Amino acid sequence: MPGAAAELRACGEAAPGSRLNEGRRSARMVTYVCNATVPLTTACVMRCRYCGYYEDDAPLLTPAQVHRLLDAAEANGATEVLILSGDLPETFPQIRRQLQDLGYASFVEYVLQVCAWCLERNLLPHTNIGYVTYGELERLRQVNGSMGIMLETTDRQLAQRVQPKKSITGRLEVIRNAGRLRIPFTSGILMGMGEEQTSRLASLEAIIRLHEEYHHIQEVILQNFVPNSRSALRLASPLTFEEYAELIAFVRQRSDIEVQIPPNLARDYPHLVECGATDLGGVSADIDYVNFENPWDEPAMLSRLRAAGCTIRLRLAVYAKYVWLGWCAPRVANVVERYSREDAYRYYTRSGRAGSDTQRG
C-alpha cells in the first residue's frame, strides 16, 4: 500500500515509524471498547492444545440466539460486537447441514448477515473467524469496523507442540490480505506456552513488518496464556513482569501500533499501562467466551486504573485514524458518524475535543 504513508501524513498525523495516536494521547492514557460477543460456533478444526473454546460437535447459533445476544449487547451499552468462531467450521457436517437449513450458501454468508444485523442496531462488528480467503475478507470489509486474527506465534517448533494443525503461513496471509484491502486490523501473540522471549520478539517482528508495509494494524494483543479447565496444555513458561514490559517497549519503539493487554488475564494491567500498554481491548458485561473462567469487571477495572493515575477513554471497534483516512465502508462509516456525536467519541470527528476520562463506571 504505497500511498498509505502519505495519506497518514496528510491526515496531520505523525509519519509512520513515530507514534500515530488517537487524537492527543497523553502518558498513561488507556482505551477500551464496550463490547459483546456473538460466538457463532465453537466448532473448530484446529484443536490447539491451549484452547478451551473448541468443541467438535458444536452447532451454529441460530438467528434467534444471535438476536437475543444483540438485544443484550444493546441493553448493556455495547458499541462493538465480536463475531467469533473456530477455524473452518464448515468442515463439520452438522454446520453444513444447519447452514443449508437456514438458507445460507456458506458460513461467511451467514457471518455477513449477522454483521448486517449488528449494523442495523448501530453496533459495529469486529469479526474474528480464523482463516478466510482474500475474496471473503473483501466482502467482510463492507460490514466490519475492524477485523482480527491472532498470529499467536511464528515459532515453528513451538507451533508443532501446541497447535500442530494451524498454519503460520495461512495466518500471515490473512494479515497481509487485510492490509492489501485496507481493513483496520488486530493481531497478537500468545505467551507462556514454553517459548523463549526471543521467540515472542520474532513473532511481534513479523506483525510489525506487515504493518510497515500496509499501516493497517491498529493494535497488537500481548496475551498471556491462562489455562482453564478445558485446555490440554498447562502453563509452561509464565511471563515475568520484566519480559512483559520489554515486549511492550519493543512494539512501541518499533512501530505506531497500539499495545493491547487483556485486563481479565494480565492481572497487573495498571503497571503494564505505566510501562506503555495503551489499550485494554473489548470489555463485556457477558463472559469471555474464550477465557470463560476469567470474567471482566468493568467498574473494578476503572477504579484500579484511576487509582494508578491513568486517564481512560472509550473507543470504537475502529480506531479514529482509520475513520479520518476514509478506510471505513459506507455502512460502517454511518454508524461511526452516529457515535461521534456523543461526547465520549467526539474525537472521532477530528475537530472534536481530544476526549477525556470516560464517564462509564
Binding stretches for ligand SF4 (CB under 6 A): 44, 46-48, 51, 53-54, 86-87, 130
DSSP state of 89: G
- Single out the residue of 104, 90, 128, 156 nearest to residue 282, CA to CA: 128
137 vs 233, which CB is nearer to ligand SF4?
A: 233
Helix 197-214 and helix 168-180, axial crossing angle in degrees, nearest 10: 30
Q: Which is nearer to ligand SF4, 48 or 82 (CB)?
A: 48
Minimum CB separation from ligand SF4 for residue 24, in Å? Answer: 37
Least separation in angstroms between residue 151's CB and ligand SF4 is 12
CB of 351 to ligand SF4, least distance (A): 41
Instruction: Kindly state the smallest distance separating residue 155's Cβ from ligand SF4, in Å.
Output: 16
Smallest gap from Cβ 181 to ligand SF4, in A, equals 22
Q: Which is nearer to ligand SF4, 154 or 358 (CB)?
A: 154
CB of 345 to ligand SF4, least distance (A): 31
Query: Smaller CB distance to ligand SF4: residue 199 or 223?
Result: 223
Task: Give whichever of 53 and 92 is closer to ligand SF4, judged by the CB atom.
Answer: 53
Nearer to ligand SF4, 27 or 232 (CB): 232
Nearer of residues 86 and 355 to ligand SF4, judged by Cβ: 86
Smallest separation, CB 25 to ligand SF4 (Å) = 31
